[in-house]
A and B are shown apart, each in its own frame.
Chain A
């Protein structure tokens, strides 16, 4: 039956209808014929029996009276029925009494012995009818009835049935064809529509609903389905369009790859990044452009993606034809279809070349000085430690040169930062010229350079290089059409003789450099044990300082009075710290203040000075000795000034000591203020708002800009002792001093001149109308107790 489904629907339809009709007619007909046959046979049998019964009854008298002629004549009456073949009458002794044949041929004799019952033999029925009279059996009637007519009737019926079947066949074929037309046409309509849609991709087509039955409903359902498909196709299209748009606009390259590793889609950005003009190539072709260093990890990631569906992100470089490298990040993951089966891979390609270059630059910045291109402190330290390790291993010498420019700060301040930068670049260039390729020049900060010389044979070689450097650097440099002469101080240390670790070597070189500075600059110094000892002295001082800060008794404040140069009146005093460590002589501030500055101990010391001064002056004030308009000046170091807790500390101190704000004056050096001018102005304003006076110390050494000076909320300018010192010998200094005083007056500032030691100086200052003076000529710094006497004496004198 496998051929059945292959048949056309119309064939099946027509075939089944016709077949069903014919079978129905056939079955009905044969059932009818069979029934008819049985019924006819029964009827005939009954008729014949009745006939036999009649004849038997009629024949009783003939039999009783032995009238065979009459009996035969009775039998002849049966001839009226054409189907009776023969009839016999037997008497009570079962002897044939009479018989008659109704056919002329094939006559059979009467059966010898009559049966009791009716017998059907093939084409005929034999009937035995007992003949009774008054309940006594007097004979038997035998009849044979032919059933030929029944067969004939059956044949006729068959012919008739065949005719009917033929007519049914024709009729059912016509009906089936019509039905097929009714059924198949709408289906065909739908099929044609579906085919057109498939061929033309036009989902707006619709099947015509020709009928109102279920097929019409089917067409409706089909159309509804089409609408749905159209809708979804449109939404799919718009989604795809969205994706396409996104993909076009995306700043990253997008690619899709099928399971055969064929690139099936890329956007323009991808082409731009990869430079592959024919993008639909094999994946291998693309990945083959990755530089060797990144290729292995990329292929590994890709095989993991293919096998374990593990998404990956790799950073790779693509080698370009011009040998440049385009840096990219490839991200890829698998694509699943709606059934969750992987059908490809999708990924993004980002061009991170700029980022990578920036990173490289950052790395350069981390290890190189952007200005000079020299290695920076970090790289230098690394090189130094490697060089030390190398020298230990190979038993060779290395030399470390620590170089500091002598006039850099001055040049930077006077010529501007650009000029300073130019100078640094020039110095770097010169340094590189002076050394071998294998040596390292580094700029480790500001104007500090180091030179690391490896594989040194003798100190003589180092000596030679140091001289060469000094000579080269001392050559004039032209910056902004100005000739600048710059020198440097160089400290040299050798390893392993001076030390075999980086920290020691750096400290040694630093010390040696300071020694060179101390020796008048523009020279070099080898590190020596003496230097080391001095260094040890520094450390001792720092240690003692810490101890003294804890005890506080070791510090004393000396006050150096200031007087009004016109009226000779006492106007205040500068508080100066003195240190007398336990069981030792007084140590000069010149010795311990730099150490305190460097170690940060200046902050607690400064606080102590401020508090102590306030307390002592408050006492004098309470005693009525300290004049109300006089001020005590306390020095603020740079560290203190930049301490965020400065203002709070000032307030607390004034509050604790009960010292009036008006008598406090803070002295800040010019260079402290110039480190960060804007911040300095803000801090000064805060101090000023508290009511504390501010004086600029050491004025004239810090190259202050007049514009800044105007903005500083200050009250007093202190002319540096270096200018006063040379009066009247140095005319320049005199002129400067005069100019400073004049300028201060223009800015409504009062001027204090310090370091007055001679009357000539005093007279000069007076003649230039300098308001106040301070110095040995007036009074040396003295303890608070002595100050009492001085003030009292001065007040008496005036």
Chain B
């Protein structure tokens, strides 16, 4: 298949594609934060929260660590999840995130998974991480696949925390961990 003029045509096409990709990435970086932020809000709707958590005065969205969303999370504030106003806050320690519904873990590498396990055992909170490798601590992980934000879901961890996902969400997840191996 590797004919002379074919190589030329493929080379020129690659150049055009790379150029456009470059532009897309810059743009995508910006957009990814927004998409993730939008997704976070939507995901909360596909999660079945226990009654006691739904009866709390507000739906707290906490970011553990640095703000990887560059402030876009604040856009969630003022909106409602199960008719409760959304509160967005930054927490530095796991301990300070006690009453969070949604816990966005910015730096998964800094989190001791066993410690998190214990923490989650005592309360129902949805942990969100980036990257497919961090699903051991994140019930929902945002993964970039083919330039698109995809979801990986760890059902085991969710079950451990006492949460359940709507089937709809599971259907759009590109990877689901379930059952103890």
Contacts and interface: CB of A to CB of B under 8 A. Distances in A.
Contacts of A62: 168, 171-172
Nearest to B38: A64
Nearest to A67: B172
Nearest to A61: B168
A57 B168 contact: yes
B148 A61 contact: no
B42 A70 contact: no
Contacts of B148: 66
A134 B44 CA distance: 11
Interface in B155-178: 166-169, 171-172
A352 B168 CA distance: 139
Interface in A114-154: 133-134
Contacts of A70: 171-172
Contacts of A66: 148
Q: Is the interface of A mostly helix, strand, loop or mixed?
A: helix
B45 A65 contact: no
A61 B39 contact: no
Question: Which of B148, B166, B169, B171 is most buried by chain A, counting CB atoms within 10 A of its CB?
Answer: B171
Contacts of B171: 58, 61-62, 67, 70, 74
A60 interface: yes
A133 B172 contact: no
Interface string A46-77: 00000000000111111011110010001000
B48 interface: no
Interface residues of A, number: 14
A81 B44 CA distance: 33
> Which of A60, A65, A66 has its CB near the most chain B CB atoms (within 10 A)?
A65
A61 B172 CA distance: 7
Chain B interface mostly: helix
Contacts of A134: 45
Interface string B50-87: 00000000000000000000000000000000000000
B111 to A, nearest CB: 26
A66 B169 CA distance: 12
B103 to A, nearest CB: 21
B19 to A, nearest CB: 25
A399 B171 CA distance: 178
B125 interface: no
B46 interface: yes
Contacts of A57: 168
A59 B151 CA distance: 16
Contacts of A59: 168
A183 to B, nearest CB: 73
A61 B168 CA distance: 5
Residue of B39, B45, B166, B168 with most partner-chain A CB within 10 A = B168
Contact of B42 (A58, A65, A74): A65
Interface in B18-46: 39, 42, 45-46
A64 B169 CA distance: 10
Q: How large is the interface on B (under 10, 10 to 19, 20 to 34, 35 or more residues)?
A: 10 to 19
Contacts of A74: 171
Interface hub of B46, B151, B169, B172 (most chain A Cβ within 10 A): B172
Contacts of A64: 39, 42, 172
A556 to B, nearest CB: 186
A67 B46 CA distance: 15
Contacts of B39: 64-65
A61 B148 CA distance: 15
Nearest to B170: A61
Contacts of A60: 168
Nearest to B83: A134
Contacts of A61: 42, 46, 166, 168-169, 171-172
A678 B39 CA distance: 178
Nearest to A66: B148
Given A58-B171, A60-B168, A133 B151 contact: no
B49 to A, nearest CB: 14
A64 B38 CA distance: 9
Contacts of B169: 61
Contacts of B166: 61
Contacts of B46: 61
Interface in A303-319: none
A61 B46 CA distance: 8
Nearest to A60: B168
Contacts of B45: 133-134
A58 B148 CA distance: 21
Most B Cβ at <10 Å: residue of A59, A60, A61, A66: A61
A35 to B, nearest CB: 39
A265 B174 CA distance: 128
Nearest to A57: B168
B24 to A, nearest CB: 16
A307 B172 CA distance: 121
Contacts of A65: 39, 42, 151, 172
A626 B112 CA distance: 220
Nearest to A64: B42
A57 B172 CA distance: 13
Interface string A222-259: 00000000000000000000000000000000000000
A67 B169 CA distance: 11
A61 B169 CA distance: 6
Nearest to A58: B168
A441 to B, nearest CB: 169
A67 B171 CA distance: 9
A698 B45 CA distance: 189
B153 to A, nearest CB: 11
A780 B14 CA distance: 225
A67 B168 CA distance: 11
A89 to B, nearest CB: 13
B28 to A, nearest CB: 14
Interface in A14-65: 57-62, 64-65
Nearest to B166: A61
A339 B145 CA distance: 119
Contacts of B42: 61, 64-65, 133
A66 B147 CA distance: 12
A74 B167 CA distance: 12
A59 B167 CA distance: 10
13 contacts: A58-B167, A61-B168, A61-B169, A61-B171, A61-B172, A62-B172, A64-B39, A64-B42, A65-B39, A65-B151, A66-B148, A67-B171, A133-B42
> Which 4 pairs from chain A and chain B are nearest by CB?
A61-B168, A65-B172, A67-B172, A61-B172
Interface of A: 57-62, 64-67, 70, 74, 133-134
Interface of B: 39, 42, 45-46, 148, 151, 166-169, 171-172
Given A61-B168, A62-B172, 20 more contacts: A57-B168, A58-B171, A59-B168, A61-B42, A61-B46, A61-B166, A61-B169, A61-B171, A62-B168, A62-B171, A64-B42, A64-B172, A65-B39, A65-B172, A66-B148, A67-B171, A67-B172, A70-B172, A74-B171, A134-B45
